[in-house]
Structure 1
Amino acid sequence: MTVAPLPKASRRGLAQEAADLIREAIFTGHFPPGAQLREVELAASLGVSRGSVREGLALLEREGLVHSVWHRGTTVVDVTAQDVEEVYALRAALDRLAATSAQRNATADQLTELDTLVRAMAQEISGDASGTTLLALDIAFHDRIYDAANNRRLVEAWRAVRSQIYLFQLRRIALGYEHYRARVVDEHRELVTLLRADDRETLARRAEEHVDSARCSLLAGLSPSM
């Protein structure tokens, strides 16, 4: 029996590429929370069809990054106090497990990579650092901790909320950059030190406190009406 070969898969679809580019535009602040995302304009800007944009926006909606309403279009999600409480409560639990798992499983190379990211943060702060650059390093740091935890389902849980966390942290920086700038290096350096130590309880507590600091900072900046 002769079986016909399957067609070769393309590297990735245009919808995924559109989602990646729109996500990056959101993360760099081009589209702030609450901004309208218009399919026609996005399609022209990205050089793809409206259908690809529509599918890309659907992918971002599943990430919790945008919100679509029939006949009202799609907007970047806004940040409410309830959103903050829910997302950061979940992140605190995930980060605690990720940190304690990484403490057991991280290799020397993975810990060195975390050191490198902390040094990059410090170098950015010593110069004319932008909030978006620091945040990219911050999120990359936590990506590496989740990788070092060596727990596939935990990584999947992190990826499910990662985009929302990124957006919420952008909002935090916009509302209180100096608070973020003053803490980002020391807090991450302490986490690396604790990952190398043999004190699981302190590491777990500090991982949760790191998230709670971000939560409190963001809530303080939100207006009472939110």
Structure 2
Amino acid sequence: MEKMHPTGDRAVAPARRRGLADEVADRIREAIFSGAYAPGAPLREVELSSTLQVSRGPVREALRVLEREGLVHCAWHRGTVVTTLSAEDVAELDSLRGALEDLAVQQVIAHASEEDLATIEKAAGVMDRTTDPHAMVRLDIAFHDAVFAATGHQRLGAAWETIRCQVHLFLLTRIGLSTEGYLGCIPQEHHALAAALRA
């Protein structure tokens, strides 16, 4: 028997299928990460609906998903734009990311399996063969995904997920200004971290 509140309302609202909105969110997110939409670029529902060949409803819902991820900013009567990170945003992301990664390193050293460590080392190794800045950013994020996955700490992994897209956006902003030093130093830094995790 369906559970009801004393008022007669359902205790739990009926589930809605969100597959299409999720797919649209994935497509827009990918376009942002590929550089098709730079920080500050407008994301117009009508244009996205036409490009993706879907109605405006899933587009609107997808943009709300991306707003929760911090990738876009929606303003009433002004539309939606790709997030532009301020200096304060960057400082907050940097400090929070550092705190999460410090804990992640401790957890990996204490709990990671040999398979986990091998996955992290493989993620670092792929960077050696990459010369494209956008690809390097993806691999940078993938490396940290592997580290957080190896912690076995679900809430720590969830905390990383809340800032993951914003960190990706920050790295894209960084290479948009200059790639000098990034392609050369990032693989070395990640190899060093992978080695330190075996200490």
Deviation at 1:35, TM superposition (A): 0.4
| 1:111 matched residue in structure 2 | 117
Quick check: 2:31–2:37 contact (8 Å CA) kept in 1?
yes
Question: Any idea what the Cα deviations from partners look like across 1:171-196, whole Å, max 9, x if unmatched?
Answer: 11111212211210110001011100
SS of the aligned residue for 1:123 comes to coil
Flag as ranges the 4+ runs of structure 1 deviating above 2 A: none
| 1:67 matched residue in structure 2 | 73
Aligned-partner Cα distance in 2 for 1:179–1:100: 28
SS of the aligned residue for 1:196 comes to coil
The structure whose residues are more often helix, as a share, is 1
| 1:160 matched residue in structure 2 | 162
| 1:43 matched residue in structure 2 | 49
Residue identity in the other structure for 1:107: S
Query: Equivalent of 1:31, from 30, 37, 42?
Result: 37
Deviation at 1:167, TM superposition (A): 0.3
Structure with bigger RCO (C-alpha 8 Å, 6+ apart): 1
Aligned-partner Cα distance in 1 for 2:96–2:166: 11
Query: Equivalent of 1:194, from 176, 189, 196?
Result: 196
Query: Equivalent of 1:146, from 135, 148, 154?
Result: 148
Taking every aligned residue pair, what percent have the same amino acid on both sides?
48
**Residue ranges of structure 2 left out of the alignment (5+ in a row):** 2-15
Name the Cα RMSD after superposition: 1.7
| 1:180 matched residue in structure 2 | 182
**Residue ranges of structure 1 left out of the alignment (5+ in a row):** 2-8, 198-226
SS of the aligned residue for 1:68 comes to strand
TM-score, scaled to structure 2 = 0.90
Aligned-partner Cα distance in 1 for 2:123–2:148: 15
| 2:93 matched residue in structure 1 | 87
Aligned-partner Cα distance in 2 for 1:119–1:110: 14
| Equivalences, count | 187
